[in-house]
Structure 1
Amino acid sequence: MEFVIITGMSGAGKSQAIKILEDLNYYCMDNMPPALLPNFAELCVSSSKDVNKVAVVADIRSGIFFKDLFNSLEILRSKGILYRILYLDASDDELVKRYKEQRRPHPLSATGTIIDGIQEERYKLEEVKKRSDYIIDTTNMKLGQLKEELHNIFVQGNILYNLNITLMSFGYKYGIPQDSDLVFDVRFLPNPFYIEELKDFTGNDKNVQDYVMSFDSSEVFIDKLVDMLLFLLPHYVIEGKTNLVISIGCTGGKHRSVTITNRIASILSGQNYRIIVNHRDITKQKR
């Protein structure tokens, strides 16, 4: 039997994840007290029905009962029931934003602020996160991207590094993305904006891509940047980093940065990393 335990930060997408797995023909249960995990797993194993794929959400909503999780995991292991833990996470700023948009209180913020509840939850989940088989950071993920990620893991069996890489193009005229970990400037490349037949297109269009990549400096830059990233990324994984934002900027964020970002994303996607592409300024008003 395939037994998946979904946990992680409140607001990080566990409800969406359980719905996605249900659509993938998992028998699903939400908000299960951890102490009941062994009994529930045994019930599924002994069921006369063909229950061979199970997913449950066990998280901080269990309150004082959540401390039973580690004991239940030991019982599952002793009974020969194999399980995998899927941990969903997101940045503090994104979690605060989601709670404010939904106008819901954090389960641990009854006597404090949302950020107080988030920080307390991170502390309580620290050991669970270390034991997790898969860690997905949904900070910059759309629902469709989460679906694709879970399909890759639980249907295709593609095991990716627990590092989400967001490749973000941006325009310097609109400011550097605040959550950037690494920032690269491609304004040294010739600007398609000043080519009349190209200015109204973007780096998602082939004519702009062909122009930007027609210069030797573009290829050299990509080769050097990829070489550096392939050196850095395994070290980020070893250090336990789960979310990395690489920002690539040009003047307006529509031509050069978009082209280079797309090219880097294409290369890194074949290196067993989770890649999320975000063209932050591509639709903003023309100059």
Structure 2
Amino acid sequence: MTAISMHEDSPPPRSILLVTGLSGAGKSSILRILEDLGHEVIDNPPLGMLDEIVARAEKPVAIGVDSRTRGFDATLVLAALSRLRINPHLHAQLIYATAEESVLLRRYTATRRRHPQASHGTVKEGIEAEIRLTSPLRAAADVVIDTTDLPPPELRQLVEARFGQWEDGRGEGLTVALMSFAFPAGLPREADMVFDARFLRNPYYDPSLSALTGLDPQVAAYVQADPDYSGFLDRIDGLLELVLPRFVQEGKKYATIAIGCSGGRHRSVTLVEALAQRLGAEPQQGVSGDGQGESVSPASSPRGQWPVVVMHRELARQGRSSWRWANRPGGGQQPSDDSPAS
């Protein structure tokens, strides 16, 4: 007789997200996005009510906690988080929103709002006080989201990719984000691995291709014709096949793989799209990733195992809708490019 484990049919742990951070860094925007993703959102409840709120909730919960919260104390927040984390039926995470001090100052100056820690001082003094007050939370955060250079559409992309769920429940493990970017615009702060595609020939210098992007077949064909393109793509693919399962073993829930070039519009976009096609494909026994008939074991290949989201940073900054799920069943809801600013 075959023994059946009682754990096989048990529901996955319920997501509990504590969202905190610096005032003006986008905490409210993050909570709105999480609400769109199906979380019950409660902003700034008294700290003493956190356990009761979680106990009564019947679906994923996102709770906003910051220096405005009645009885706020970073030590008490961390103690509550510890209690939630030891509950095997919950998956509790701490999200910390931040931005550079100069950016926070500019945002407060533009809105003319009073900083919660500056009732008897300047906005700058309030920001500095809040940084000190919340520093233990930043140190303990599972996810730190820096919105310094992050437009609202990109913020939505990050939150959706990290905390959105697959409709068939497979969103409990690793989510892989593939991002194209331009080196002159800065490295993506959230990148776990970065690859440089600037050695490939550049379509920018072809007048017929300069205004196009790697999403256009003419540009993709031009980049793919470089004699080193296939070898470069194969090596990235092979490295990810080694590394991604190890990320899962370490308990990582999100991995960002970034590929950069000079402008972030041609070579990097082409490579990200090609890599997404490989990683998003379901593995087939007896068929290799290049279709040459070599055997690939589904158990050892990362293909199709995890959600893969594609993001093109520079295209997003130009106002283009530039992200998609590569293999999310049911087609995840795409964020609009006119999302409200935080």
Return the TM-score normalized by structure 2: 0.57
Post-superposition CA distance 1:12-42 (Å, at most 9, x none): 5432343344445554321012211233445
Unaligned runs of 5+ in 2: 1-12, 281-303, 319-342
Unaligned runs of 5+ in 1: 46-50
Give the counterpart letter for 1:280 in structure 2.
E
Give the counterpart letter for 2:258 in structure 1.
I
Post-superposition CA distance 1:135-169 (Å, at most 9, x none): 3636443325534543327984502448x856233
State the distance in 2 between where 1:256 and 1:243 align: 21
Match of 2:65 among 53, 58, 64: 58
Map 1:75-224; keep pairs closer than 5 Å. 82-90=89-97, 92-93=99-100, 96-97=102-103, 100-103=106-109, 107=116, 113=125, 116-117=128-129, 119-121=131-133, 123-126=135-138, 128-129=140-141, 135=143, 137=145, 139=147, 140=150, 141-147=154-160, 149-152=162-165, 156=169, 158-161=171-174, 167-170=179-182, 175=184, 177=186, 184-195=195-206, 197-224=208-235
Q: 1:277: which partner in 2?
A: 311
Q: 1:69: which partner in 2?
A: 77
Give the counterpart letter for 1:7 in structure 2.
V
State the distance in 2 between where 1:41 and 1:183 align: 38
Give the counterpart letter for 2:228 in structure 1.
S
Give the counterpart letter for 1:125 in structure 2.
L
Per the alignment, do residues 9 and 96 of structure 1 end up closer, same or farther by CA in structure 2, a change over 3 Å counting? Answer: farther
SS at match of 1:84: strand
Q: 2:340: which partner in 1?
A: none
Deviation at 1:72, TM superposition (A): 4.1
Identity of matched residues, %: 23
Return the TM-score normalized by structure 1: 0.65
Q: Is the 8 A contact 2:19 2:62 kept in 1?
A: no
SS at match of 2:95: strand
SS at match of 1:37: helix
Deviation at 1:219, TM superposition (A): 0.9
Greater fraction of residues in helix: 1
State the distance in 1 between where 2:65 and 2:155 align: 23
Map 1:12-31; keep pairs closer than 5 Å. 12-23=25-36, 26-31=39-44
Cα RMSD for the two superposed structures: 4.6
Q: How many residues align?
A: 267
Q: 1:48: which partner in 2?
A: none
State the distance in 2 between where 1:194 and 1:77 align: 54
Q: Is the 8 A contact 1:186 1:257 kept in 2?
A: yes
Per the alignment, do residues 232 and 283 of structure 1 end up closer, same or farther by CA in structure 2, a change over 3 Å counting? Answer: same
Q: Is the 8 A contact 2:200 2:267 kept in 1?
A: yes
Give the counterpart letter for 1:227 in structure 2.
G
SS at match of 2:214: coil
SS at match of 2:45: coil
Q: Is the 8 A contact 1:29 1:55 kept in 2?
A: yes
State the distance in 1 between where 2:27 and 2:49 align: 19
Post-superposition CA distance 1:162-215 (Å, at most 9, x none): 8x8562332x7xx36255776644343333345454343221101211221134
